[in-house]
Amino acid sequence: MSYAAPLKDMLFNIKYLAGIDQIQQLPGMQDAGLDTTQAVLEEAAKFNEGVLSPLNWAGDQNPTSWKDGVVTATPGFKEAFQQFTEAGWQGLQHPVAYGGQGLPKTIGASVGEMQNAANMSFALLPLLTDGAIEALLTAGSPELNAVYLEKLVSGQWTGTMDLTEPQAGSDLAAVRTRAEPQPDGTYKIAGTKIFITWGEHELAENIIHLVLARVNGAPAGVKGISLFVVPKFMVNADGTLGARNDVHCVSIEHKLGIKASPTCVLQYGDNGGAAGYLVGEENRGLEYMFIMMNAARYGVGVQGIAIAERAYQTAVQFAKDRIQSRPVDGSLPAAGPIIHHPDVKRMLMTMRAYTEGCRALSSVAAAAYDVAHHSPDAEVAEQNETIYEFMVPLIKGFSTEMSQEVTSLGVQVHGGMGFIEETGCAQYYRDSKILTIYEGTTAIQANDLVGRKTARDGGQTAKALALQVETTEAALTALATPDALAMAKRLAAARLAFVDVVNFMAANAKSNPNDAYAGSVPYLMLAGNFMAGWQMGRALLVAHEALQRGEDTAFMQAKITTARFYADHILTKVPGLRDSIVDGAGSVTALALDAF
């Protein structure tokens, strides 16, 4: 159950697909070249393989506990978090002005994948702190940021996002937590928040909750929600910690997976009201929280890639070790390792191709984010922001649904042993399920893709990306190797299906919303599959060029083989998804409620 970071694949994506050399040319990114990238990733691999990974199984077997309001983490987690913060990993991609290292998301995403593959329960703590930092950087006042940001960036304090309530779920219009203005400019916060990841712990000296609440007299619905900073411990004028604030953990959930991560029920205001500080302006809280949510959604997509990689590595090692049955081609005189069997190869290659395709897509999206936030050319920045925003629901939705299939295949490769906890692959399967649910279910991501990312601009962003894919197809056709021609053919068929569905969504999202949204999740899966397939096509081109130079021939040939497998076995699903959406919408919407 050990983990080895896939450094070669990460560096391949960052160098060739994300274009780290171009990112290095952006203002403030001069130190973020390939040498820096490699050095950072190698150090991250040592930490995650050596410190976090050994705690993963322990966290599942001896999860976080709660008693009398006190949350106790899995033994070893506190010491690991201390090492994590002392090494500066929390501040990796945050501003130098607040003590961070200012490295691009393109590097940070790969480090985040390692953390989550090594120990997803642990990695949730810095992931949510990252989101809190982004929200404050965008909407926090200078006074608020002066108090909180440096401590969050260092990891000395951690952050949470407190949205959900018992009656609200994902419908934030139903939020009831109250905020009462005080004469000194603060607010008294009262209410209950549920599903708060790492909402209480003793790993850091303070916890900074970002809380959605309604100011007295605010408008109904989402337009009346405001965002507040509510610290676990009050912060004195000199920066030292004061009294405990009126927020307490009243229980933690007993979960299917990620058991070492405490999922808390937080009670605000049992003793007069928790002191809160307004972020930005009243009634704009959801707008600000979406900044945090978008960062978290991308991060959850990376979690899907991470857990898929962990499951793949475990399955490959088992398949090499497990002796059972003579190969069907008679290549061995007796029973041999099951990796010789064609269906085991098929399962392993499916796991590998999905994981590498999604990793490539996430790396390219991270590069778009970096350009959007650092390019001095406003038009280029806006174009890349639009691309990144389009990609986020795909990375969150497709990569996490993919992780369900990959971790399930990991169990299947193990056979009966996969159903036994001690092999470890059952944990990956259980841990992965939450990824399709939290930070917005797959359906919520799909609705976002249809409404905000496709219908709003008439499908123009999606079609512009399709034109870029067409350029890749032409390059593959010109290369004219059997693998390149097969990829070009599959990409072309997928592109036509993608554009057809984009047109369908743009035409029907408002006029026939039931038909459009009945196909929203299949559309997300189609688009994610297609965009990841595009990156695999680009990877095939790069790997062929590298082979011609004699560069790392084993790795490059494996990359071509994996891309070809993706084309033949995964990309081919896209036209069928098109049919289910465009031709099959009516068979969903025609169902009467009494059919259930």
pLDDT in tens, 247-257: 999 999 999 99
- pLDDT for 232 equals 98
**Better-scored residue on pLDDT, 173 or 329:** 329
> Binning pLDDT at 50, 70 and 90, where does residue 596 land?
confident
Catalytic position from the list 200, 439, 470, 545: 439
User: Which of 2-6, 27-31, 89-93, 164-168 is predicted with the least confidence, judged by mean pLDDT?
Assistant: 164-168
- What mean pLDDT comes out for the span 312-339? 95
Identify the pLDDT of residue 586: 76
**Residue-averaged pLDDT of the chain:** 96
- Across 340-367, average pLDDT: 98
Q: Tell me the whole-structure pTM to 2 decimals.
A: 0.97
- Residue 172: the pLDDT is 78
If phi > 0 it is left, if psi is from -120 to 50 it is alpha, else beta; for residue 62 that is beta
Please tell me the predicted confidence (pLDDT) of residue 343. Answer: 98
Mean pLDDT of 217-239: 95
Q: Tens of pLDDT along 463-486?
A: 999 999 999 999 999 999 999 999
Q: How far apart are CA 447 and CA 517, in angstroms?
A: 7
Average pLDDT over residues 254-267: 98
pLDDT at 419: 97
The pair of three-digit structure tokens given for residue 3, joined into one six-digit string:
């983990």
User: What is the CA angle 87-92-94, rounded to 5?
Assistant: 135
The rounded distance, in Å, linking the Cα atoms of 464 and 571 is 20
**pLDDT reported for residue 584:** 86
Q: Quick check: 48 and 114 in contact, CB under 8 A? A: yes
Q: What is the pLDDT of residue 521?
A: 98
Judged against a pLDDT cut of 90, whether residue 438 lies above it is answered with: yes
pLDDT(408) > 90: yes
What value does the mean pLDDT take over residues 327-343? 94
Beta strand 187-197 with 274-278 is antiparallel
Give the pLDDT confidence score for residue 168 in this predicted structure: 81
Residue 77 has pLDDT above 90, yes or no: yes
Question: Cα dist. 252→35, 158, 194, 325, 327 in Å?
Answer: 43, 18, 9, 47, 49
| The pLDDT value given to residue 589 | 78
384, amino acid identity: N
Q: Given this model, what pLDDT does residue 201 score?
A: 98
Of the pLDDT bands very low, low, confident and very high (cuts 50, 70, 90), residue 291 is confident
Task: For the chain, give the percent of residues with pLDDT over 70.
Answer: 100
* pLDDT reported for residue 294: 87
pLDDT of 169 higher than 80: no
DSSP of 91-150:
TTTS-GGGT-----HHHHHHHHHHHHHH-HHHHHHHHHHHHHHHHHHHH--HHHHHHHHH
Query: Token pair for residue 278?
Result: 């307004």
Query: Is pLDDT of 585 > 90?
Result: no
Q: What pLDDT does residue 591 have?
A: 75
Encoded tokens for 240: 């030292």
Q: Please, which pLDDT band fits residue 500 given cuts at 50, 70 and 90?
A: very high
Is 439 catalytic? The answer is yes
**Residue 249: strand pairing partners:** 266
User: For residue 411, which of 307, 539, 520, 314 has the smallest C-alpha distance?
Assistant: 314
